[in-house]
Amino acid sequence: MREKIARLRTIRRFKEDKKLSREFLTGLLDLARLSGSSRNCQPWQYQIVDTPELCAELFPNLAWAGYLPQWKGPGPGQRPSAYILCLLNSTWQKGPETEAYFDLGSATQNIIIGAMEEGVGVCRIGSFGTGAANLFKIPEHLSLRLVLALGEVDEKVVLETARDEEDIRYWHDEAGVHHVPKRALKDVIVDLERQ
């Protein structure tokens, strides 16, 4: 199980020419639908974007890697072959919005697990311009909160132990390998004294 979890990395380079079927993408949304939900509100709805034309229009509205400001995202041939838009339905959300985001984390993790089982990578993108939402006629009760980029994996990601607590920035080496420092297990476990 640990090896499977370690493979659930954010993927930012894809085999763009490998189309994902609508059936596969719908199956991922079924996995999202089955996730736990605060108050069982189930406030998220999803839009599949899988035509090359619409994918090309959406791409320039997305920010790809905050720690790599010189990298503008995957180049031609390595861009996503599909996207899933995550839309919060305000009429279904009954509690605080923070609860909805817990639900979204759970739902998108289910999508990532299902995708990786089939060699499909996912990148959660929370930084996007208004142009992303403006491509669609989104009803007032829905708001775009997250974009998932999907495609067959075309990059190598290496996990390594962070050298210190400031060493959290991911980076690309000369060969284009994506390195991701992770805090050591001993550093994430605390031993709090009881009051």
Backbone phi, psi, residue 150, to 5°: -135, 150
State residue 44's pLDDT score.
98
pLDDT tens, residue order, the chain (195 aa)? 888 888 888 999 999 999 999 999 999 999 999 999 999 999 999 999 999 999 999 999 999 999 998 898 999 999 999 999 999 999 999 989 999 999 999 999 999 999 999 999 999 999 999 999 999 999 999 999 999 999 999 999 999 999 888 899 999 999 999 999 999 999 999 999 999
DSSP H/E element including 159? strand 157-161
State residue 164's pLDDT score.
87
Kindly state which CATH superfamily the domain 2-155 is placed in.
Answer: NADH Oxidase (3.40.109.10)
pTM: 0.94
Classify burial at 43, counting beta carbons within 10 Å of its beta carbon; exposed 0-12, middle 13-18, buried 19 or more. buried
State residue 74's pLDDT score.
97
CATH code given to domain 156-195? 2.20.180.10
Q: How do the domains of the chain map onto residue ranges?
A: 2-155, 156-195
